[in-house]
Amino acid sequence: MEPAKPDAPHQTRIGLYLAFLQLFFTLTWTVYVIFLPKLAAQVGIRPQAVIVILMLDQVIFAFMDWLMGRLADRWALVVGRLSRIVAVTTGVSCAAFLLLPFVAPTGSEALFLGLTILWSASSSVLRAPPLALLGKYASRNSVPWLASLSMFGIGVAGALGPFLTVALRETDPRLPFALASISLLMVTLGLGWAERNLANAPAQTEATPPPSTSGNVDNRSPLALFLIAIVLLGLGFQIHFSLNAAPLFLKFAKPPELEQLMPVFWIGFSLLMLPTTFLTQRYGGLCIMAAGSVVGAQAAFIALHASNLTVLSAAQFIAGGAWGCVMMSAVTVALALGHNNSGDSKSSNEGIVTGALFSLLAIATFARMMIVWTELNKDPTFATIQLWLPVAAWMLAAGLLLAIALRRGEGGVLQRA
């Protein structure tokens, strides 16, 4: 008897829900970064220490993303449990976030930092756990499409970031903090609907790929190489977009024009990622991750040698699209590596592998902030190396991913990776 075919419109609705969830979640971080210097100043924190707070956030994310992913594997054993816990934890996170602009005027540094830590820790529940549901309930063929829709929300938020920075600069922070908190909480309450529909969908019968004929293979080596590749990819992205992009644009444009130019990367991320999901379905996430890494490295190389603004913008657009393909495929691979082919959901680790993915991306962000904090990027020698780091990191990551892909026939878990 053939397994039931996925209900494409139904699963697309779930994917769109995840897109809105990630959109509003990412926008809360954008609002936080915009107003943190002003709020920190109100409690007597020096401007030079603001980046230290942001680095502390990344350390918390790195630990909590892994922990939340680990817990998600346990919570998802009972349908509806994960969404309830996520909703309650998000309520705590939103309350802490909402209070930040109200506490700052009191001048209580300890209370302000305590709320910041509480928000950072609890907000991690919205990264790995919702995506872990895809690995546990969605069919293998539908995961790339659902993952791309989720990542689409992040891309839209990234594109809106520069505009929000300008638009909200002189706004009373209490209003955007309140709007962001309430909107995110309202969207999160719909996770129960997504969890129940994923769990009850007939497409879940397709979730387990056929077993390999070569026997059981230790999955730790491919997983280790995959996670090393994630660190390289994340570091390359952080340096390319956060450190190199603006100076490259300023060679041909004026500072006020960055508001229109910086979103080009995220527009490419969102638009080019969606149509390439069928490539991940056909060739596997590892191959598309490797291909995206190579294309991203080439785009970064072209950006370094661009002779005019048109060429540079096109290179940034392609680099963004390549990063979108990498992220969508990375989630697909993480869920496949964590999936237990025996069908025993109790021993599946989709959450923990996905959590590790986001933890390592947080570490890459921390590394980029450390470069800025130590002013290493102002050293002439390192500044030259910095320009080439994305190219080198993405190419090296592509090599590691291809090495894993060559072993994909050795274990059933890698057949759909």
Which pLDDT does position 245 carry in this prediction? 96
C-alpha 417/C-alpha 415 separation (Å) is 6
Question: How many domains in the chain?
Answer: 2
Which pLDDT does position 196 carry in this prediction? 87
Q: Is the pLDDT reported for residue 160 higher than 70?
A: yes
Task: Name the burial class of residue 198, with classes exposed (0-12), middle (13-18) and buried (19+) by CB atoms within 10 angstroms of its CB.
Answer: buried
Which pLDDT does position 45 carry in this prediction? 92
On whether residue 206 sits in a domain, the answer given is no
Q: Mean pLDDT across the stretch 185-200? A: 89
Same domain, 137 and 246: no
On whether residue 150 sits in a domain, the answer given is yes
On whether residue 212 sits in a domain, the answer given is no
Same domain, 27 and 126: yes
Question: Could you tell me what percentage of the chain is helix, strand and coil, using 3-state DSSP and rounding each to the nearest 5?
Answer: 85, 0, 15
| Last residue in a domain, options 166, 201, 236 | 201
Q: Mean pLDDT across the stretch 220-228? A: 88
Same domain, 30 and 168: yes
List the CATH number of the domain containing 187.
1.20.1250.20
- Greater confidence (272 vs 3) lies with 272
Same domain, 140 and 239: no
On whether residue 231 sits in a domain, the answer given is yes
C-alpha 128/C-alpha 106 separation (Å) is 35
- Look at residue 108 and give its three-state secondary structure: coil
C-alpha 157/C-alpha 255 separation (Å) is 21
Same domain, 229 and 187: no
Q: Do 126 and 86 meet the contact criterion of CB atoms below 8 Å apart?
A: yes
On whether residue 209 sits in a domain, the answer given is no
Q: Is the pLDDT reported for residue 328 higher than 60?
A: yes
Q: What is the pLDDT of residues 195-211, one digit of tens each?
A: 888 887 654 444 334 33
Q: Please tell me which of 141-145, 205-209, 406-410 the model is most confident about, judged by mean pLDDT.
A: 141-145
Q: Mean pLDDT across the stretch 263-268? A: 96
Which pLDDT does position 412 carry in this prediction? 40
Same domain, 108 and 30: yes
- Greater confidence (79 vs 162) lies with 162
Enter the pTM of the model: 0.90
Q: Do 280 and 332 meet the contact criterion of CB atoms below 8 Å apart?
A: yes
Least confident interval from 153-162, 203-212, 238-247? 203-212
Q: How confident is the model at residue 138 (pLDDT cuts 50, 70, 90)?
A: confident
Same domain, 197 and 248: no
On whether residue 2 sits in a domain, the answer given is no
List the domain range (segments joined by +) for residue 38.
Answer: 8-201
Which pLDDT does position 409 carry in this prediction? 52
| Last residue in a domain, options 154, 177, 201 | 201
Which pLDDT does position 396 carry in this prediction? 97
Q: Is the pLDDT reported for residue 252 higher than 90?
A: yes
Same domain, 284 and 380: yes
129 conformational bin, left if phi > 0, alpha if psi -120 to 50, beta if neither: alpha
Which pLDDT does position 169 carry in this prediction? 82
Q: Is the pLDDT reported for residue 266 higher than 90?
A: yes
Same domain, 237 and 153: no
Mean pLDDT of the chain: 88
Q: Mean pLDDT across the stretch 41-53? A: 93
C-alpha 327/C-alpha 357 separation (Å) is 10
On whether residue 169 sits in a domain, the answer given is yes
Q: Mean pLDDT across the stretch 142-147? A: 91
Same domain, 241 and 164: no
Q: What is the pLDDT of residues 14-41, one digit of tens each?
A: 999 999 999 999 999 999 999 999 999 9
Same domain, 149 and 18: yes
Same domain, 50 and 132: yes
Which pLDDT does position 12 carry in this prediction? 82
Least confident interval from 63-77, 316-330, 344-358? 344-358
The number of beta carbons lying within 10 Å of the beta carbon of residue 135 is 29
Which pLDDT does position 356 carry in this prediction? 95
On whether residue 210 sits in a domain, the answer given is no
| Last residue in a domain, options 201, 235, 256 | 201
